[in-house]
């Protein structure tokens, strides 16, 4: 029996707009086990990003339960959620979200600052992880001095530096060209296969989703498909 | 934790150098103004204090009262009812440390060096006690000098300058109204009195010598006034009541009749002068504090702009694990750094300003450590107070809202 890292039951999210309350997620149920590589697909407005933000503890659900590493997040304080984001979760954004004033090394080491790690520890950890994502020698550059693909590698390094249990990525290749996109996906695949990191990636591109083992497809805030990625694409091709 | 945050705050301020400097300028001017103004106030206070101390402390002046003949009343001192023996009797009252009779007059004084018209005070040694007056050379006259009406004199610094030049006057002879006097001592310098008179332009002689020889016929055996010193401020009202009773008794004033003397309390005068100086210091500080507050509002304004501008950065930090207090601390540190840095420069400016005022304006200025500590305390307070609201605003953002901010 594999370890359940994430357990979602009856997850709903609605927003209050001038036109009234709008429900984006209509009750999601799924479980993600340690070591899985999951792609989340769906058309625009299907609620992919909303779901990822809740799973990444950046946003809160309106109702339903969401457990991560055995802990129920609905009863957590904002500080406890911050602790989860620091310890358990790594998040990679479409727009990289690096601090422009700060060196690559300090960007990568930033999560460790909030763990009160000393400078030497932070630097060593940042250098090690930068080497892993293939950015040796860029430690003292700034984000605006490197390419988009390299910036996304920095963002991945930052997400990994705290040794999280799960990595969430929201359209990580959305701002990148095709070649660079596949390089980034190869990096993700390696992290999953060799380092056993659990991965959950939102994308709207089929060839990106094909890197994953499992596919969750959202349509209008409901799960439309949840199963092996290969089976889904083979069925579609046929 | 605080180390990287300080570095972070420093780099954030450095990223907008011009803006940071302009924000700090408000603080610099505020603190500088407070320190300079306080130094001017303190200087004035110290000057007033020194003048008051030169007058002597806890003093009374007992003056002869007015006389009435028919419908015509003379002014105070119009009749001469006080005597040197009244002074002696007052001196014996409890809590009286000195009672000096004074028989004053003006006279031309001549030495071989030159001549000079000045005030002569016939008095006793008690005058030196009451006025807290010391001798810079020579020695004072004694009771026996008073009893035998010796022609000895103690002269002030101004007299020395005008009648002896650089010579040592002790032991030399001066002629007052053509009578030879031996200079027995030189009084230490006192400077100006509260009303601007030169306190060093005076000669003290035994009261008997003044009564019988110098101003013979003018006083008889009376004196113009008696200077009385009480042992403490608290004892003053008791001493005043005792003196009134004593003098009424000695002058045989019946029940219902007016006193033939007046008692003036110099401590009250000194108090009001000190109070005026204190009020002035407070007023200057209040005016200067306004600029501190304006400086603080400037800091708050910039911190609010900074929070808005860096909302996305706050979101990123929260997304990777920054807690509310981390964000709060970060912005609070920036505000504090702005205000403390501004304060530091302001203190330097204020001390420089005080020095310039002393140099160019000729005003006495005193920068006290208290005013510097006060400035730092206020600057810290302003930094925390005006930095807290923007910092809290940043810390309360939801991570997803902060990240979505464009």
A33 within 8 A of A226, measured Cβ to Cβ: no
Tens digit of each residue's pLDDT (9 = 90 or more) over B69-122: 666 666 665 667 888 889 999 999 999 999 999 999 899 999 888 889 999 999
B328 neighbourhood in chain A, CB within 8 Å: none
- Of B259, B287, B312, the last residue of a domain is B259
Same domain, B40 and B140: no
- The complex scores an ipTM of 0.93
Which residue did the predictor score with more confidence, B187 or B12? Answer: B187
- Tally of structural domains, chain B: 2
A13 touches B: beta carbon within 8 Å: no
A144 within 8 A of A135, measured Cβ to Cβ: no
Tens digit of each residue's pLDDT (9 = 90 or more) over B17-63: 898 898 888 889 888 988 888 888 888 888 887 777 777 778 888 98
A88 within 8 A of A69, measured Cβ to Cβ: yes
Tell me which DSSP letter residue B198 carries.
Answer: B
| pLDDT value at residue A237 | 82
The rounded Cα A113 to chain-centroid distance in angstroms is 21
The three-class DSSP label of residue A97 is coil
Tens digit of each residue's pLDDT (9 = 90 or more) over B217-241: 777 788 889 999 998 888 888 999 9
Question: Distance (Å) from the C-alpha of residue B365 to the closest C-alpha of chain A?
Answer: 46
Tens digit of each residue's pLDDT (9 = 90 or more) over A2-48: 678 999 999 999 988 888 889 999 999 999 999 999 999 999 989 99
Q: How far apart are CA B96 and CA B24, in angstroms?
A: 58
B319 neighbourhood in chain A, CB within 8 Å: 56, 58, 85, 91, 93, 97
Nearest to B126 by CA among B171, B92, B159, B91: B91
Whether residue B74 lies inside any domain: the answer is no
Whether residue B321 lies inside any domain: the answer is yes
Question: Distance (Å) from the C-alpha of residue A236 to the closest C-alpha of chain B?
Answer: 35
Q: Do B321 and A79 touch (CB under 8 A)?
A: no
**Which structure tokens are listed for A126?**
């940042």
Nearest to B263 by CA among B126, B38, B96, B386: B96
Same domain, B234 and B115: yes
CB atoms within 10 A of CB B249: 10
Work out the mean pLDDT of chain B and round it to a whole number: 86
| pLDDT value at residue A38 | 96
Task: Label residue B106 exposed, middle or buried (CB < 10 Å: 0-12, 13-18, 19+).
Answer: exposed
Nearest to A5 by CA among A30, A40, A41: A30
Cα nearest neighbour of A79 on chain B: B323
B34 within 8 A of B375, measured Cβ to Cβ: yes
Same domain, B280 and B159: no
Average pLDDT, consecutive stretches of 10 residues, N- to C-terminus, chain A (238 residues): 85 89 92 95 92 93 92 91 93 92 92 89 93 90 93 94 93 91 93 93 92 95 93 87
| pLDDT value at residue B76 | 61
Cα nearest neighbour of A95 on chain B: B403
Cα nearest neighbour of B15 on chain A: A101
Nearest to B350 by CA among B291, B302, B297: B291
Could you tell me the CA-to-CA distances from B104 to A178, B129, B163, B226, B309 in Å, in that order? 111, 18, 20, 11, 79
**Which structure tokens are listed for A23?**
């429900």
Residues 6+ apart with CB under 8 A from A235: none
Chain B residues with CB within 8 Å of chain A CB: 1, 3-5, 11-12, 15, 312-313, 315-326, 398-400, 403
Same domain, B246 and B307: no
Same domain, B106 and B224: yes
CB atoms within 10 A of CB A1: 4
Q: How far apart are CA B387 and CA B306, in angstroms?
A: 11
**Summary count for chain B: helices (H), strands (E):** 13, 12
Q: Do A78 and B324 touch (CB under 8 A)?
A: yes
Same domain, B227 and B127: yes
A115 neighbourhood in chain B, CB within 8 Å: 321
Same domain, B26 and B90: no
Whether residue B267 lies inside any domain: the answer is no
A87 neighbourhood in chain B, CB within 8 Å: 321
B127 within 8 A of B153, measured Cβ to Cβ: no
Q: Which helix (H) or strand (E) holds B70?
A: none
Nearest to B207 by CA among B109, B96, B110, B87: B87
Please give the residue range of the domain that contains residue B361. Answer: 2-51+272-404
Question: Distance (Å) from the C-alpha of residue B304 to the closest C-alpha of chain A?
Answer: 20
Residues 6+ apart with CB under 8 A from B269: B194
A97 neighbourhood in chain B, CB within 8 Å: 312, 315-316, 319, 403
Question: Distance (Å) from the C-alpha of residue B383 to the closest C-alpha of chain A?
Answer: 24
Cα nearest neighbour of A158 on chain B: B320
Boundaries of every domain in chain A: 94-163
Q: Which of B11, B320, B323 sits opposite A110 (nearest CB)?
A: B320
The rounded Cα B164 to chain-centroid distance in angstroms is 33
Q: Which of B5, B312, B321 sits opposite A111 (nearest CB)?
A: B321
Whether residue B123 lies inside any domain: the answer is yes
- Of B199, B229, B259, the last residue of a domain is B259
Same domain, B234 and B284: no
Nearest to A44 by CA among A162, A204, A171: A204
């Amino acid at each position: 029996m594999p370890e359940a890292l994430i357990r979602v039951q009856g997850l709903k999210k609605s927003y209050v707009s001038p036109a009234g309350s709008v429900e984006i997620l209509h009750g999601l149920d799924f479980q993600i086990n340690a070591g899985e590589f999951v792609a989340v697909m769906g058309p625009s407005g299907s609620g992919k990003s909303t779901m990822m933000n809740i799973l990444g503890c950046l946003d809160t659900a309106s109702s339903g339960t969401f457990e991560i590493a055995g802990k129920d997040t609905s009863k957590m304080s904002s500080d406890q959620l911050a602790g989860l984001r620091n310890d358990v979760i790594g998040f990679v954004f479409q727009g990289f979200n690096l601090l422009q004033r700060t060196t690559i090394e300090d960007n990568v080491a930033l999560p460790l600052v909030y763990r009160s790690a000393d400078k030497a520890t932070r630097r060593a950890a940042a250098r090690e992880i930068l080497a892993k994502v293939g950015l040796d020698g860029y430690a003292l550059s700034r984000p605006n001095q490197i390419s988009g693909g390299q910036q996304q590698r920095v963002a991945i390094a930052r997400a990994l530096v705290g040794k999280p249990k799960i990595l969430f990525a929201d359209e990580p290749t959305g701002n990148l060209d095709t070649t660079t996109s596949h390089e980034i996906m190869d990096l993700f695949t390696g992290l999953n296969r060799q380092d056993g990191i659990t991965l959950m990636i939102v994308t709207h591109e089929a060839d990106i989703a094909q890197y994953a083992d499992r596919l969750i497809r959202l349509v209008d805030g409901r799960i439309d498909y949840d199963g092996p990625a290969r089976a889904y694409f083979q069925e579609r091709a046929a | 934790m605080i180390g990287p945050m300080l570095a972070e705050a420093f780099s954030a301020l450095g990223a907008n150098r011009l803006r940071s400097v302009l924000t700090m300028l408000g603080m610099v001017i505020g603190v500088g103004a407070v320190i300079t103004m306080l130094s001017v106030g303190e200087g004035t206070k110290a000057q007033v204090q020194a003048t008051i101390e030169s007058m002597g402390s806890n003093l009374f002046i007992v003056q002869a009262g007015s006389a009435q003949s028919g419908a015509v009343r003379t002014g105070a001192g119009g009749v001469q009812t006080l005597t040197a023996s009244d002074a002696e009797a007052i001196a014996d009252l409890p809590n009286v440390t000195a009672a000096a009779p004074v028989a004053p007059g003006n006279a031309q004084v001549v030495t071989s060096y030159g001549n000079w018209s000045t005030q002569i005070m016939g008095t006793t040694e008690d005058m030196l006690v009451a006025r807290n007056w010391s001798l810079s050379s020579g020695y004072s006259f004694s009771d026996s000098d008073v009893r035998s009406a010796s022609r000895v004199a103690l002269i002030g610094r101004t007299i020395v300058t005008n009648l002896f030049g650089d010579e040592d006057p002790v032991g030399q002879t001066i002629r007052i109204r053509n009578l030879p006097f031996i200079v027995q001592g030189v009084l230490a310098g006192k400077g100006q009195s509260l009303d601007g008179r030169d306190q060093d332009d005076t000669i003290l002689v035994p009261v008997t010598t003044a009564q019988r020889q110098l101003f013979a016929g003018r006083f008889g055996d009376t004196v113009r006034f008696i200077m009385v010193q009480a042992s403490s401020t608290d004892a003053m009202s008791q001493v005043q009541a005792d003196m009134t009773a004593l003098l009424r008794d000695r002058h045989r004033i019946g029940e219902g009749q007016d006193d033939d003397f007046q008692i003036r309390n110099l401590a009250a005068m000194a108090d009001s002068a000190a109070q005026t100086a204190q009020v002035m210091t407070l007023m200057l500080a209040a005016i200067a504090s306004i600029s501190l507050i304006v400086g603080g509002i400037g800091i708050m304004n910039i911190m609010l702009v900074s929070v808005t501008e860096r909302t996305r950065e706050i979101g990123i930090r929260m997304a990777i694990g920054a807690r509310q207090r981390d964000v709060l601390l970060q912005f609070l540190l920036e505000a504090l750094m702005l205000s403390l840095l501004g304060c530091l420069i302001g203190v330097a400016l204020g001390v420089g300003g005080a020095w310039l005022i002393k140099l160019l304006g000729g005003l006495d200025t005193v920068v006290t450590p208290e005013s510097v500590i006060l400035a730092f305390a206020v600057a810290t307070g302003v930094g925390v107070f005006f930095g807290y609201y923007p910092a809290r605003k940043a810390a309360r953002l939801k991570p997803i809202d902060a990240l979505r901010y464009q």
